[in-house]
Amino acid sequence: MAKVARVAIKTIEFKIDADNAGRRLDHFLAEKLPAETGNPVSRARVRAMIGAGAVYLNGKCIRIASKQLVSGAFLRVMADLDRLGRGAGGEHRIGREHILFEDDYLIAINKPSGLPSQPTMDAARANLFDSAKALLSADIGGGEAYLGMHHRLDRDTSGVIVFTKSRVANAAMAHAFKEHGIQKTYLALSLRPAKKPPDRWHVENNLGVVSRKGGRARYGAVRSGGDRARTDFSLLEASDRALLIEARPLTGRTHQIRVHLAGCGLPILGDDLYGAADGAGVDVPRLMLHAHLLRLDHPVTGVLLEICAPLPEDFSGVKKKIIGG
């Protein structure tokens, strides 16, 4: 008699409290499932589970990853532990195809959305720093390659990050970032308000923590304390539903672009922390913010570098649906 394979399914239940009300379904589960399953669980894996019919909201199967949760709702997840284990870390493997620039002193990488820039409290969770270091170590055929980190992107932001490969470059790179000698350009998709913004504008204020929601710090403008923050904005494209905005932060505060755009009534699509978890009539798979360009003088040679990260497919796909092009 043939043996029947047993599938390790774990039923996990959540009751949504007030702190998590308004969050997207996929964002909530990507945060909560790792502790419940003992496995790293990426947002891509969560969306696959939702699409496969493994998640129930108030007793009904829900297949909308961007569904906003309400206080008091009940979630039930049928988690296949074997598949989660096999998929751990695999969705964010960094290869040479992610490298945008490299020489003896620097390496610039196109970071996928959903991948933390640096190690987190969960030692098993994939992150860009460790992945890039492992790639360089494999290239030298043994031993541990050196990698220096000088700036970061939010986990859900995609785009270009530059690391130092040699300690020789560290002092000049640290000085360039501290003195705002590196020009950073981001692209963001935003909901269109009733009144279209001007072609160019800027926001300058002090930012600090104004609240905490579901264990996450929420930043905003504060009258005293906080850190000075300035972002210059340009409107690149517009439709009747959404805008493509270029953001050039002159400072590097946590969530700076997200906070400044939300304060202008232009929350970034996919941002469940600052007011646009969904919108424009399309499914938004993640935060629509992309680090598009870094412009800097090479810390050793002095040559001007312009390192560009092309738009990823998920970003360009949403843009095409709501703006065109």
Do residues 235 and 245 touch, judged by C-beta distance below 8 A? yes
The SS3 of residue 265 is coil
Measured distance CA(270)–CA(273) in Å, rounded: 9
Measured distance CA(11)–CA(80) in Å, rounded: 9
Do residues 267 and 120 touch, judged by C-beta distance below 8 A? no
Q: HSE (CB half, 13 Å, CA atoms) of 159?
A: 24
Q: Which residues of 179-194 are buried (b: 16+ CB within 10 A; e: fewer)?
A: eeebebbbbbbbbbee
Catalytic residue among 17, 80, 154, 199: 154
Q: Which of 147, 141, 144 is nearest to 127 (CA)?
A: 147
- 272: tokens are 């469940």
Residue 240: active-site member: no
Q: Which of 234, 297, 298, 296 is nearest to 266 (CA)?
A: 234
Strand bridging mode 158-164 / 289-297: parallel
Residue 15, beta-bridge partner list: 74
Q: Could you tell me which residues come within 8 angstroms of residue 134 by beta carbon, excluding any fewer than 6 positions away?
A: none
Do residues 314 and 286 touch, judged by C-beta distance below 8 A? yes
Q: Quickly list DSSP for 207-223.
A: EEEEEEETTEEEEEE-S
Length of the chain equals 325
Measured distance CA(33)–CA(83) in Å, rounded: 13
What are phi and psi for residue 142, nearest 5 degrees? 130, 160
The alpha carbon of 195 is separated from its chain's Cα centroid by a whole number of angstroms, namely 28
Residues annotated as catalytic (active site), given as ranges = 154
